[in-house]
Amino acid sequence: MNRTAKIALLVSGAVLACLIASCGVVLALRDWVPGLTGCEDPDKPTKNGVITSKIRIEQMWPQLAPIQQVHWQEHEARARSCPEIGPMDYVMDGFAVITAERVQALPATTAAPAPRVPEDLVPFAPADPAWLKVDGTDLLLDKASATVYFTHTTD
């Protein structure tokens, strides 16, 4: 191998090493400072504020209609990755106050443990609830306050 070939090989190796090192630095900074790559904070799922619209809830759970008042929230099921890979699932949680007639019509006889309520919805939870599982659903009912807790994850 002549001298020119050795120099070319050495320069090529140095350039390749610099490229690999640069890629490593960029990847390390991307995780350390998400804003550098245009990503939001990857450690927290995003969520919206508390919503009081009854329409969507009455469409999803017609057995609750007519709802007197509702407070619900939707949030991402997991923290986003950067870049985002695959579709995002969303979780909807909330409380609906229903009429006394609806309370009597719901088949709920089995005691259920207290749900994990998102922080923003805690002020709307009934005081000292006795949750019952509504048969055939994921709904929880507190008969004393006529309050239903609902949760739904998109597929």
The whole-model pTM stands at 0.68
How far apart, in Å, are the Cα atoms of 109 and each of 82, 118, 133, 140, 143?
45, 25, 7, 10, 10
> Residue 79: its pLDDT value, please?
67
Determine the distance from the C-alpha atom of residue 147 to the mean position of all C-alpha atoms in its chain, rounded to a whole number. 23
Q: Which residues contact 137 (CB under 8 A, 6 or more apart)?
A: 61
Strand-strand pairing, 132-134 and 147-153: unpaired
> Residue 7: its pLDDT value, please?
83
Residues of the chain with pLDDT under 70: 23-47, 79-86, 155
Neighbouring CB atoms inside 10 A of 128's CB total 8
> Residue 77: its pLDDT value, please?
75
> Residue 15: its pLDDT value, please?
77
What type of residue is 31? D
pLDDT tens-place string over residues 24-63: 665 565 555 555 455 555 555 566 789 999 999 999 999 9
> Residue 155: its pLDDT value, please?
66
> Residue 85: its pLDDT value, please?
67
